[in-house]
Structure 1
Amino acid sequence: MAATTARNVTASTIATGKSKDRNLASMIFLAALWFSLFFGVMVLLALIIDTLIEGLPRMDSQLFTEYESTIRKDETGFRAGILGSIWLMLTTAVMAIPLGIAAAIYLEEYADKNRWYNRVIEINLQNLAAVPAIIYGMLAAAIMGVLGFTYKGIVLGGAIALALLILPVVIITTREAFRTVPQEIRDGSLALGATVWQTTWRNTLPSAIPGIATGTILGLSRAIGEAAPLILVGFATVRFDPNGILDKATAMPLQIYNLAGQPHEAYQQAASAAIILLLAMILLMNGLAIFIRNKFQRSW
């Protein structure tokens, strides 16, 4: 009887995730966890409020239409950085998303998990997702050298670095989206005579699009705020608009980094305004990902 009661209590604790153990050590540990969470949130909130106070007066049209100026510092703008970031994101999306989805389709629908090379790919994917961003910049610089580019700081080099950065994220999230599609849909399609490719293209892939879109948007929202890989491929401050993937360009994170370190108050104020703009873009992309997931997600 006592053993049965103990098993029931243990099962209830596991099921609910709650325990009635309220000794001093557990309470101290719980208080430390809440204090850590509270302290981190308060520091972040203080930084955001300070940035808003400093940067809101510079949220004007000149921030979007003017270039970085060494003469009229109070009118310096981020036009080159904004356009450069747009070029980078478009080129990164074209390079990373189709390749990532194709790799996920192969690994999830075609790959034999008993083969050694597929297991090696699986392990490497998990490891690549945790590699520091600056390593991808070094790899992109090496790729540009192999391709024969002798000049640095072009859109293509930055896009290669950012595509390599988000590629593991795209592959992993796409595979997770494929796993949410019930196996019965595949079995039914195959039973009607469809091939594996027809089943994947007409049934599995359309059903997984909400999860794929969410993962890719979140990956791009991470890439838009990265500066370290771009520094490695030679990105610097430029004062003109890029017109193609082989043109030199800059990006908003790099301009923010450069201006925030300047002693002039006008530059620091412009950097704060650009931080607000970059945060708004990232929050907008994350909100779009949440909307797509909630709007188009299916319940099986």
Structure 2
Amino acid sequence: MCVRFLGFVLLICLAGVLRAQGPEPPCESPQLQGGFSVIEEDTDSHERKLFYACDDGLKPAVEGWWGTATCQNRTWIPTPQCIDANACIAPEIPNAKYTKSPNGWHEEGHKIRVTCIDGYEDRNHLAIAQCVNGNWTSMPVCERDVHACGPPPKILNAVIIKQVFQKVFLDNSEVEYACEDGYTSNTGAIQKSYCVFGNWTAVSECIRETQPDTGRGGSAAGGTGATSGHTTSTDRGTTSGTDRDTDDRRVTGSSTRGVGGDTGPFISIDKCGTPPRIDNGDFVEKTLKYLKYQCSAFYTLEGSDTVVCNSDGSW
């Protein structure tokens, strides 16, 4: 008796599970005021489609003289509805934003204020659109600002920080580059770039940090040999170990890359005399190690933006 009862209970539970896993109930036929609909019957219930049309003086709340909807979670998406023929459907305006009606359409005579998103401007300088006889008049067109910038350029061994990716940046925007651990640039591990009239200001590449000079190949007190790349007594006459140590402190590192492909050691820029002049630009940063240049507006830099002083006194 107990076995027979347990079998009956399991049968009821199994029937409930099968019903739960069965096909999704279809969407009910909508109560469409001012129109009629036809439901597609030869598809699965969760993919079933509805087609509808509206009476004279009315139109679907979608583009076209007939509308469609799809059954999703027992609901027709979008909601089938017939609206006044002179009403307007909510417009899709690329790169713009405005307050949309919750029902998806706007009555005749309604006005919307459209604003372009950051980095875009209205080509026609029209901020207001109005619904007239079922159509929007004077619709703004948002185009990319000629002074805006695209994404900042990729720098090897560096990453943009404090800024999420975006396709367009406003004029005067600022981004920061951070060099990978173990790398640095002429201006340090963190560099800034600015959007100026549609172009990003140049930044130096991140190069591997050099190890401190250990004096290999010569004596720390002056020795008999000179480290490769340093000024020797032959170049400058007989000098003491103290003088060579003073010269060594001027060197920024024999592996630092110079302007024009020089790979020799660099000394402080006060040894090179008058800074070089370039047309349509000037230096904007000065340290004992380098000068950093920037072009005037409407000009683009060609080559490196940084110059250093070679050990022979040349820029």
Determine if the TM-score, normalized by the shorter chain, exceeds 0.5.
no
Structure number having the greater helix percentage: 1
- Structure having the higher Rg: 2
TM-score w.r.t. length of structure 1: 0.21
TM-score w.r.t. length of structure 2: 0.20
Structure number having the greater strand percentage: 2
